[in-house]
């Protein structure tokens, strides 16, 4: 969730920066930015790579944890995650190609990033690499909360099983089938 917030926050800020220049959020109106805004497209490319989990970025750390957890639960659940990740990567790659090298609808007389934009895009870029290359530091901070959450979840699960309702039994049966236990 932390990684998603960093990357999508940066992408939304970048959409705002493009909107300030073109007064449009349509991809067709904002193609070919690589020629006019090379620094902007560097940050866009970085966030695009992070969003689909490129190694060395914070997105990779999140993606690998999701995949490891899914495949540990069940090979079938893990396999269901793969198409979603591939579609997300294909979508982001396609949008990035159009924005960077697509044929612009009109000639653009735009200036690249200003000082404010450099600052607010550099901050998430630092976190993309920092978390991507050194996730252990962030795990040390997050692990106590996760362990506490799991302990509380296990306690509630025991209480819940003692007072289980028929509808909850059916839901558990569906989850067991998806996980390959039945």
d(CA 4, CA 156): 29
Same-domain check for residues 40 and 116: yes
pLDDT of res. 155: 74
Alpha helices (H) along 23-111: 33-36, 38-51, 58-73, 75-101
- Where does a domain end: 116, 133, 150? 133
Report the number of distinct structural domains present in the chain.
2
Predicted local distance difference test score (pLDDT) of residue 165: 57
Residues 6 and 93 in one domain: yes
d(CA 90, CA 85) in angstroms, rounded, equals 9
Residues 23, 108, single domain; the answer is yes
Check whether residue 52 and residue 117 sit in a common domain.
Answer: yes
User: Are 143 and 62 contained in the same domain?
Assistant: no
Residue 125 sits in the same domain as residue 156: no
pTM: 0.79
Residue 148: the pLDDT is: 87
107 & 152 share domain: no
CA distance 73 to 76: 9
Question: Is there a contact between 61 and 70 (Cβ–Cβ < 8 Å)?
Answer: no
22 vs 24: CA distance, rounded Å: 5
Residue 102 near residue 32, CB atoms below 8 Å: yes
pLDDT in tens, the chain (182 residues): 889 999 999 999 999 999 999 899 898 889 989 888 999 999 999 999 999 999 999 999 999 999 999 999 999 999 999 999 999 999 999 999 999 999 887 777 889 999 999 999 999 999 999 999 999 999 899 889 888 888 887 777 655 555 555 555 656 666 676 677 76
Give the per-residue pLDDT at 157.
Answer: 62
From the CA atom positions of the chain, what is the Rg in Å? 21
- Gap between the Cα atoms of 15 and 12, Å rounded: 5
- 128 and 150 fall within a common domain: no
- Which residue segment(s) compose the domain that 148 sits in? 135-182
């Amino acid at each position: 969730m932390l990684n998603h917030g960093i990357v999508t926050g940066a992408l939304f800020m970048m959409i705002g920066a493009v909107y300030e220049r073109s007064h449009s959020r349509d991809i067709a109106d904002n193609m070919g930015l690589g020629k006019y805004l090379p620094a902007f497209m560097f940050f866009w490319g970085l966030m695009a790579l992070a969003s689909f989990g490129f190694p060395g970025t914070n997105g990779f750390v999140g993606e690998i944890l999701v995949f490891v957890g899914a495949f540990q639960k069940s090979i079938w659940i893990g396999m269901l995650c793969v198409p979603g990740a591939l579609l997300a990567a294909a979508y982001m790659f396609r949008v990035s190609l159009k924005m960077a090298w697509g044929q612009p609808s009109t000639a653009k007389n735009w200036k690249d990033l200003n000082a404010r934009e450099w600052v607010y895009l550099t901050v998430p870029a630092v976190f993309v690499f920092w978390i991507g290359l050194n996730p252990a530091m962030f795990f040390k901070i997050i692990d106590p909360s996760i362990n506490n959450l799991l302990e509380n979840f296990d306690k509630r699960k025991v209480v819940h099983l003692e007072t289980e309702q028929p509808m909850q039994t059916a839901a558990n049966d569906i989850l067991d089938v998806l996980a390959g236990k039945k």
